[in-house]
């Protein structure tokens, strides 16, 4: 196609990065062949995500217990189920871009 940039790969690869240390948002790494970017999603309200419970060794079914909320959630540094869900949906969408959408993504990034 004339006028469209060459793309180093025909696919965008997005993945949710593991939880590590104090929570500062759910990180999605996006690799599009030239360089990668990280997108951070942070909405610490509501129920804990399943992987946050696993990270803190909180038994399944206890995500909303008052005792846990006092111990862990006082400063909003936790991954909510909503943050993880948005990150997961973003990854699924980016990982299923068509070749034309990848071209537009790369062109939109001014590469």
Domain assignment of residue 3, yes or no: no
- Which tens digit of pLDDT belongs to each residue from 54-72? 998 888 777 666 566 656 6
Least confident residue range of 8-12, 65-69, 89-93, 96-100 = 65-69
Sheet containing strand 13-16, strands side by side = 13-16, 26-31, 36-41
Q: Is residue 82 part of a domain?
A: yes
**Domain interval for residue 92:** 13-108
Count of structural domains within the chain:
1
CA atoms within 13 A on the CB side of 65: 11
Asked if residues 94 and 12 have their Cβ atoms less than 8 Å apart, the reply is yes
Q: What is the pTM of this model?
A: 0.79
Q: Which of 45, 48, 65 is CA-nearest to residue 56?
A: 48
């Amino acid at each position: 196609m004339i006028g469209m940039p060459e793309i180093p790969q025909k696919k965008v690869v997005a993945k949710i990065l593991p939880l590590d240390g104090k929570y500062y948002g759910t990180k999605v790494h996006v690799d599009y062949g030239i360089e990668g970017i990280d997108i951070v999603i942070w909405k610490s309200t509501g129920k804990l995500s399943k992987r946050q419970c696993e990270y803190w060794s909180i038994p399944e079914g206890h995500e909303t217990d008052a005792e846990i909320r006092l111990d862990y959630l006082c400063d909003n540094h936790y991954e909510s189920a909503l943050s993880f869900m948005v990150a997961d949906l973003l990854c699924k969408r980016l990982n299923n871009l068509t070749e034309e959408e990848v071209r537009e993504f790369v062109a939109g990034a001014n590469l």
